[in-house]
Amino acid sequence: MNRLRVRVFFISTPILAVTLSAAIALRAQDPPQEASKETIAQAPETPRHRVDGERHGLPPETFAVAPGTKFLVKLEDDLSTKGTQENSTFRVKTLEPLEAGSGFYLPSGAEIEGHVSRVEPAAVAGRAKLWLTFDEIHTRFGDLPIVAEVTSVPGDHSVKPSPNQEGVIAGRTSTEQDAAAAAARGAAIGAVKGVKDKDKKEAAEGAALGAINAYLMESGRGRELNLPQGAKLELELERALYLVKD
C-alpha cells in the first residue's frame, strides 16, 4: 500500500510541473492590458494667475507683456478729423487679456487713456489724418505707462494706419475710378454750351476743360476720418508693459 502511494506521488509531480509551466507560458503571451484613462498621467497645464500688482518674490520680467504683442480695443469716445481737437483725450477698453510670462495676465476690460496729438482735416491736407498717442492703462492696482500704436482698424475699410508714420490713422482718398468718373461728368457738362450753340470747337474745348477741372478736384479731394464710439482698433505694444506696481 505504501509503495502505491509513493508511485502516485512521483507520477503526479511531473504532470503538475508541466501544467504550471504551460500556464506561465500562456500568461506571458497574453497582451498587456491597456492602462485606463484614469491612470494615465497628463502633463499639468501652466496655471494662470490674474496679476495683482505684487511681484511675490519673482523678477519683474515675469510680469512683462512682450513688445510686439497685438490686442484689440474698443473706442469709448467718438474721434473725427472734422470735430476732434488736438490734445483732446480719448479712452479705449481692451477686448482681450494681456498675457505676461508664466501664466500671469491682465484680464480684458482694462481702460487705456490717450490723447490726440495732431489732427489734419481732409479739407486742409487733402487726406485726413489723426495722430493717436496712448498714455496709460488703468488697472485695479494703479495706472501703468503704456507705449503702443494702432496697426489696423478691423471692419472699416475707409481708414487705415499710415505707413512709416507711427500712431497715425489716415482716411483713404478718392480712387482713380472716382476721378475718371468725375472727369467724364465734367466733360459732358463742359460740352453743353458748345452743343447748344452748334459750335463743335467750343464744345470740344469746353469738354476738355471741364474734364481737367473735375479730375483735379476729385483726385485731390479726401474724405474726413470718422471713428465712432464702439469702433475696434488693433494695437501693438512698442515697449514691454510691466504688470506690477512701481
CATH code assigned at 132: 2.40.128.260
Q: What is the pLDDT of residue 127?
A: 85
**Do 234 and 204 have their domain in common?**
no
Instruction: Indicate whether 9 belongs to any domain.
Output: no
Are both 68 and 182 inside the same structural domain?
no
Same domain, 215 and 229: no
Q: Is residue 1 in a domain? A: no
Together in a domain, 213 and 234? no
Same domain? For 87 and 139 the reply is yes
User: Which residue has cell 505707462?
Assistant: 145
Number of H helices, E strands in the chain: 4, 16
The reported pLDDT for the residue numbered 69 is: 97
* pLDDT at residue 163, as a whole number: 60
Of 94-98, 155-159, 175-179, the range with the lowest mean pLDDT is 175-179
Looking at the fold, whether 227 and 214 belong to one and the same domain comes out as no
Whole-Å CA distances, 244 to 59, 101, 230: 10, 13, 29
What is residue 20's predicted lDDT score, i.e. its pLDDT? 45
Other residues' Cβ atoms within 10 Å of the Cβ of residue 47: 8
Q: Are residues 80 and 184 in the same domain?
A: no
Residue 4 falls within a domain, yes or no?
no
- Provide the residue range defining the domain that includes 90: 49-172+223-242
**Do 147 and 69 share a structural domain?**
yes
Assess if residue 66 is contained within a domain.
yes
Number of domains in the chain: 2
pLDDT score for 45:
74
Q: Tell me, yes or no, whether 122 lies in a domain.
A: yes
Whether residue 142 sits in one domain with residue 64: yes
More confident residue, 172 or 102: 102
Q: Is residue 7 part of a domain?
A: no
**Confidence bin at 87 (pLDDT 50/70/90):** very high
| Any domain includes 36 | no
pTM of this prediction?
A: 0.63
CB 104 within 8 A of CB 244: no
* Residues 13-65: tens digit of each pLDDT: 444 444 445 544 545 555 555 545 554 556 567 789 999 999 999 999 999 99
* Shared-domain flag, residues 212 and 235: no
User: Does 132 lie in the same domain as 111?
Assistant: yes
Average pLDDT of span 155-172: 64
Flag whether 28 is in a domain. Answer: no
Q: Are residues 108 and 122 in the same domain?
A: yes
Whose CA is closest to 171, among 182, 162, 183, 181? 162
| CA 71/CA 45 separation, integer angstroms | 23
Backbone CA torsion sign across 96, 81, 87, 240: positive
